[in-house]
Amino acid sequence: MEFKTLLFEKDAGIGILTLNRPKQLNAINGEMLTELSNAMDNIAADDEVKVLIITGGEKVFAAGGDIAFMSGADSLTAESFIALCHQAFDKVANLEKPVIAAIAGMALGGGCELSLCCDIRICSENATFAQPEINLGIIPGAGGTQRLARLIGPGWCKYLTMLGDPIDADTALRLGLVAKVVPPDQLMTEAKKIAAKLAAKPPGALRVLKKAINYGMNVDLASGLAFEQKVFALLFSTQDQKEGMKAFMEKRKPVYKGR
Protein backbone atom coordinates (compact mmCIF):
# COMPACT_ATOMS: atom_id res chain seq x y z
CA MET A 1 0.00 0.00 0.00
CA GLU A 2 1.38 3.37 -1.04
CA PHE A 3 -0.14 6.63 0.20
CA LYS A 4 0.76 10.32 0.33
CA THR A 5 -0.35 10.99 3.91
CA LEU A 6 0.18 7.57 5.48
CA LEU A 7 2.93 4.99 5.77
CA PHE A 8 2.21 1.28 6.13
CA GLU A 9 4.43 -1.64 7.00
CA LYS A 10 3.82 -5.13 8.34
CA ASP A 11 5.90 -7.78 9.99
CA ALA A 12 5.13 -11.01 11.83
CA GLY A 13 1.39 -10.45 11.74
CA ILE A 14 1.60 -6.84 12.93
CA GLY A 15 0.63 -3.91 10.71
CA ILE A 16 1.87 -0.42 11.51
CA LEU A 17 0.00 2.54 10.02
CA THR A 18 1.78 5.88 10.54
CA LEU A 19 0.14 9.26 9.96
CA ASN A 20 2.56 11.11 7.70
CA ARG A 21 2.01 14.85 7.38
CA PRO A 22 4.93 15.94 9.60
CA LYS A 23 5.06 19.56 8.39
CA GLN A 24 1.38 19.94 9.35
CA LEU A 25 1.85 18.01 12.63
CA ASN A 26 -0.25 15.24 11.07
CA ALA A 27 -3.29 17.49 10.88
CA ILE A 28 -6.17 15.48 9.45
CA ASN A 29 -7.48 16.62 6.07
CA GLY A 30 -9.73 15.11 3.44
CA GLU A 31 -6.89 13.37 1.60
CA MET A 32 -5.72 11.65 4.78
CA LEU A 33 -9.26 10.55 5.62
CA THR A 34 -9.77 9.08 2.14
CA GLU A 35 -6.46 7.26 2.37
CA LEU A 36 -7.24 6.06 5.90
CA SER A 37 -10.56 4.67 4.72
CA ASN A 38 -8.88 2.85 1.83
CA ALA A 39 -6.11 1.58 4.09
CA MET A 40 -8.61 0.11 6.53
CA ASP A 41 -10.36 -1.72 3.69
CA ASN A 42 -7.03 -3.22 2.60
CA ILE A 43 -6.02 -4.17 6.15
CA ALA A 44 -9.41 -5.76 6.79
CA ALA A 45 -8.89 -7.99 3.74
CA ASP A 46 -5.24 -8.81 4.50
CA ASP A 47 -5.10 -12.12 6.37
CA GLU A 48 -1.42 -11.57 7.13
CA VAL A 49 -2.28 -8.67 9.45
CA LYS A 50 -3.49 -9.97 12.80
CA VAL A 51 -3.11 -6.72 14.78
CA LEU A 52 -2.84 -3.08 13.72
CA ILE A 53 -0.85 -0.29 15.39
CA ILE A 54 -1.74 3.30 14.50
CA THR A 55 0.84 5.95 15.36
CA GLY A 56 1.93 9.40 14.31
CA GLY A 57 5.63 8.87 14.83
CA GLU A 58 7.98 9.93 17.60
CA LYS A 59 7.00 13.60 17.94
CA VAL A 60 3.26 13.98 17.40
CA PHE A 61 0.22 11.76 16.98
CA ALA A 62 -2.07 14.29 15.28
CA ALA A 63 -2.66 17.94 16.06
CA GLY A 64 -6.34 17.87 15.10
CA GLY A 65 -8.18 18.73 11.94
CA ASP A 66 -6.86 20.99 9.20
CA ILE A 67 -7.98 24.39 10.53
CA ALA A 68 -6.81 26.22 7.41
CA PHE A 69 -9.30 24.16 5.42
CA MET A 70 -12.12 24.33 7.96
CA SER A 71 -11.87 28.09 8.50
CA GLY A 72 -13.35 28.72 5.06
CA ALA A 73 -15.97 25.97 5.14
CA ASP A 74 -19.72 26.54 5.11
CA SER A 75 -22.22 24.23 6.83
CA LEU A 76 -22.56 21.84 3.90
CA THR A 77 -18.80 21.56 3.45
CA ALA A 78 -18.32 21.04 7.18
CA GLU A 79 -20.92 18.28 7.28
CA SER A 80 -19.36 16.53 4.29
CA PHE A 81 -15.95 16.68 5.95
CA ILE A 82 -17.26 15.23 9.21
CA ALA A 83 -19.14 12.53 7.31
CA LEU A 84 -15.81 11.57 5.75
CA CYS A 85 -14.28 11.53 9.26
CA HIS A 86 -17.02 9.25 10.51
CA GLN A 87 -16.64 6.91 7.55
CA ALA A 88 -12.90 6.49 8.06
CA PHE A 89 -12.95 6.44 11.87
CA ASP A 90 -15.81 3.94 11.97
CA LYS A 91 -13.72 1.58 9.86
CA VAL A 92 -10.99 1.79 12.49
CA ALA A 93 -13.44 1.20 15.31
CA ASN A 94 -15.15 -1.70 13.55
CA LEU A 95 -12.07 -3.45 12.15
CA GLU A 96 -12.38 -7.12 13.06
CA LYS A 97 -8.83 -7.12 14.39
CA PRO A 98 -7.32 -5.47 17.48
CA VAL A 99 -6.15 -1.89 16.95
CA ILE A 100 -3.54 -0.26 19.19
CA ALA A 101 -2.93 3.50 19.26
CA ALA A 102 0.70 4.36 20.08
CA ILE A 103 0.57 8.05 20.96
CA ALA A 104 3.54 10.40 21.29
CA GLY A 105 3.26 14.16 21.66
CA MET A 106 0.01 15.90 20.82
CA ALA A 107 -3.28 14.09 20.26
CA LEU A 108 -5.59 17.06 19.84
CA GLY A 109 -9.09 17.36 18.42
CA GLY A 110 -9.42 14.90 15.57
CA GLY A 111 -6.18 13.26 16.64
CA CYS A 112 -7.64 12.44 20.04
CA GLU A 113 -10.86 11.31 18.36
CA LEU A 114 -8.91 8.95 16.08
CA SER A 115 -7.25 7.40 19.12
CA LEU A 116 -10.69 6.83 20.67
CA CYS A 117 -11.53 4.50 17.78
CA CYS A 118 -8.68 2.18 18.75
CA ASP A 119 -9.15 -0.74 21.13
CA ILE A 120 -6.07 -0.13 23.25
CA ARG A 121 -4.29 3.20 23.74
CA ILE A 122 -0.80 3.56 25.12
CA CYS A 123 1.16 6.80 25.17
CA SER A 124 4.57 8.23 25.90
CA GLU A 125 5.24 10.39 28.94
CA ASN A 126 5.27 13.49 26.72
CA ALA A 127 1.79 12.90 25.30
CA THR A 128 -0.87 15.60 25.51
CA PHE A 129 -4.58 15.13 24.91
CA ALA A 130 -7.26 17.74 24.29
CA GLN A 131 -10.58 18.44 22.61
CA PRO A 132 -10.04 22.19 22.08
CA GLU A 133 -12.77 22.76 19.49
CA ILE A 134 -14.81 24.96 21.83
CA ASN A 135 -12.01 27.54 21.62
CA LEU A 136 -12.67 27.80 17.89
CA GLY A 137 -16.41 28.28 18.25
CA ILE A 138 -17.28 24.69 17.37
CA ILE A 139 -17.55 21.29 19.09
CA PRO A 140 -15.88 17.94 18.53
CA GLY A 141 -17.45 16.37 15.45
CA ALA A 142 -15.53 13.13 14.84
CA GLY A 143 -16.68 11.24 17.91
CA GLY A 144 -15.48 13.42 20.78
CA THR A 145 -18.96 13.95 22.22
CA GLN A 146 -19.84 10.25 21.87
CA ARG A 147 -16.85 7.91 22.11
CA LEU A 148 -15.10 10.03 24.73
CA ALA A 149 -18.21 10.11 26.95
CA ARG A 150 -18.58 6.35 26.67
CA LEU A 151 -14.92 5.85 27.53
CA ILE A 152 -14.39 8.18 30.50
CA GLY A 153 -17.97 9.11 31.43
CA PRO A 154 -20.11 12.16 30.61
CA GLY A 155 -18.80 14.26 33.51
CA TRP A 156 -15.16 14.18 32.47
CA CYS A 157 -16.15 14.39 28.81
CA LYS A 158 -17.99 17.64 29.50
CA TYR A 159 -15.07 18.96 31.52
CA LEU A 160 -12.60 18.32 28.70
CA THR A 161 -14.82 19.42 25.81
CA MET A 162 -16.35 22.47 27.50
CA LEU A 163 -13.06 23.87 28.79
CA GLY A 164 -10.93 22.70 25.89
CA ASP A 165 -7.86 22.49 28.14
CA PRO A 166 -5.15 19.89 27.52
CA ILE A 167 -4.33 17.06 29.90
CA ASP A 168 -1.03 15.25 30.33
CA ALA A 169 -0.27 11.56 30.07
CA ASP A 170 -0.66 10.85 33.79
CA THR A 171 -4.11 12.45 33.85
CA ALA A 172 -5.09 10.50 30.74
CA LEU A 173 -4.04 7.30 32.51
CA ARG A 174 -6.01 8.22 35.62
CA LEU A 175 -9.15 8.90 33.57
CA GLY A 176 -8.85 5.65 31.66
CA LEU A 177 -8.20 7.41 28.37
CA VAL A 178 -5.01 5.37 27.99
CA ALA A 179 -4.07 1.98 29.43
CA LYS A 180 -0.34 2.56 29.84
CA VAL A 181 2.27 5.35 29.90
CA VAL A 182 5.86 4.61 28.90
CA PRO A 183 9.07 6.58 28.26
CA PRO A 184 9.16 8.05 24.73
CA ASP A 185 11.94 5.75 23.54
CA GLN A 186 9.94 2.68 24.59
CA LEU A 187 6.60 3.57 22.99
CA MET A 188 6.81 1.49 19.82
CA THR A 189 8.65 -1.32 21.58
CA GLU A 190 5.78 -1.59 24.06
CA ALA A 191 3.14 -1.27 21.32
CA LYS A 192 4.78 -4.09 19.36
CA LYS A 193 5.05 -6.20 22.51
CA ILE A 194 1.32 -5.87 23.14
CA ALA A 195 0.60 -6.47 19.45
CA ALA A 196 2.69 -9.66 19.44
CA LYS A 197 0.72 -10.99 22.41
CA LEU A 198 -2.54 -10.23 20.64
CA ALA A 199 -1.33 -11.78 17.38
CA ALA A 200 -0.83 -15.07 19.25
CA LYS A 201 -4.44 -15.12 20.53
CA PRO A 202 -7.27 -16.92 18.69
CA PRO A 203 -8.42 -14.43 16.03
CA GLY A 204 -12.03 -15.60 15.99
CA ALA A 205 -12.41 -15.15 19.73
CA LEU A 206 -10.79 -11.72 19.54
CA ARG A 207 -13.17 -10.76 16.75
CA VAL A 208 -16.35 -11.67 18.62
CA LEU A 209 -14.96 -10.27 21.87
CA LYS A 210 -14.51 -6.88 20.23
CA LYS A 211 -17.96 -7.08 18.67
CA ALA A 212 -19.57 -7.98 21.98
CA ILE A 213 -17.96 -5.06 23.81
CA ASN A 214 -18.75 -2.55 21.05
CA TYR A 215 -22.32 -3.80 20.74
CA GLY A 216 -22.89 -3.71 24.49
CA MET A 217 -21.84 -0.06 24.68
CA ASN A 218 -24.82 0.92 22.55
CA VAL A 219 -27.64 -1.24 23.92
CA ASP A 220 -29.25 -2.00 27.26
CA LEU A 221 -27.67 -4.57 29.59
CA ALA A 222 -30.17 -7.34 28.81
CA SER A 223 -29.52 -7.03 25.07
CA GLY A 224 -25.77 -6.98 25.62
CA LEU A 225 -25.90 -10.08 27.79
CA ALA A 226 -28.05 -11.90 25.24
CA PHE A 227 -25.51 -11.11 22.51
CA GLU A 228 -22.65 -12.23 24.75
CA GLN A 229 -24.44 -15.53 25.41
CA LYS A 230 -24.88 -16.26 21.72
CA VAL A 231 -21.31 -15.47 20.63
CA PHE A 232 -19.89 -17.32 23.65
CA ALA A 233 -21.75 -20.44 22.56
CA LEU A 234 -20.79 -19.91 18.91
CA LEU A 235 -17.09 -20.17 19.74
CA PHE A 236 -17.62 -23.76 20.89
CA SER A 237 -18.08 -24.70 17.24
CA THR A 238 -14.54 -23.54 16.34
CA GLN A 239 -11.32 -25.52 16.09
CA ASP A 240 -9.51 -22.81 18.03
CA GLN A 241 -11.74 -23.42 21.06
CA LYS A 242 -10.93 -27.12 20.91
CA GLU A 243 -7.22 -26.38 20.53
CA GLY A 244 -7.16 -23.83 23.36
CA MET A 245 -8.80 -26.13 25.89
CA LYS A 246 -6.86 -29.19 24.75
CA ALA A 247 -3.58 -27.27 25.09
CA PHE A 248 -4.59 -26.15 28.58
CA MET A 249 -5.27 -29.72 29.65
CA GLU A 250 -2.00 -30.89 28.09
CA LYS A 251 -0.05 -28.03 29.71
CA ARG A 252 1.33 -26.69 26.42
CA LYS A 253 1.03 -23.55 24.38
CA PRO A 254 -1.92 -23.57 21.97
CA VAL A 255 -1.44 -23.13 18.23
CA TYR A 256 -4.36 -21.18 16.83
CA LYS A 257 -5.23 -21.28 13.14
CA GLY A 258 -8.21 -18.96 13.00
CA ARG A 259 -10.72 -21.69 12.39
pLDDT at 71 (0 to 100): 79
Catalytic residue among 31, 35, 96, 113: 113
Q: What pLDDT digit, counting tens, does each position of 87-142 carry?
A: 999 999 999 999 999 999 999 999 999 999 999 999 999 999 999 999 999 999 99
The pLDDT confidence band at residue 70, using thresholds 50, 70 and 90, is confident
Taking the complete model, does pTM exceed 0.85, yes or no? yes
203-249 CATH = 1.10.12.10
What residue spans define the domains of the chain?
A: 6-199, 203-249
What kind and span of H or E run contains 13? none
The secondary structure of 29-47, three-state, reads CHHHHHHHHHHHHHHHHCC
pLDDT at 80 (0 to 100): 92
Q: Cα–Cα distance between 192 and 52 in angstroms, integer?
A: 10
Asked if 127 and 167 count as a contact pair (C-beta separation under 8 A), the reply is: no
96 is catalytic: no
6-199 CATH = 3.90.226.10
Catalytic residue among 48, 133, 190, 228: 133
113 is catalytic: yes
pLDDT at 78 (0 to 100): 86
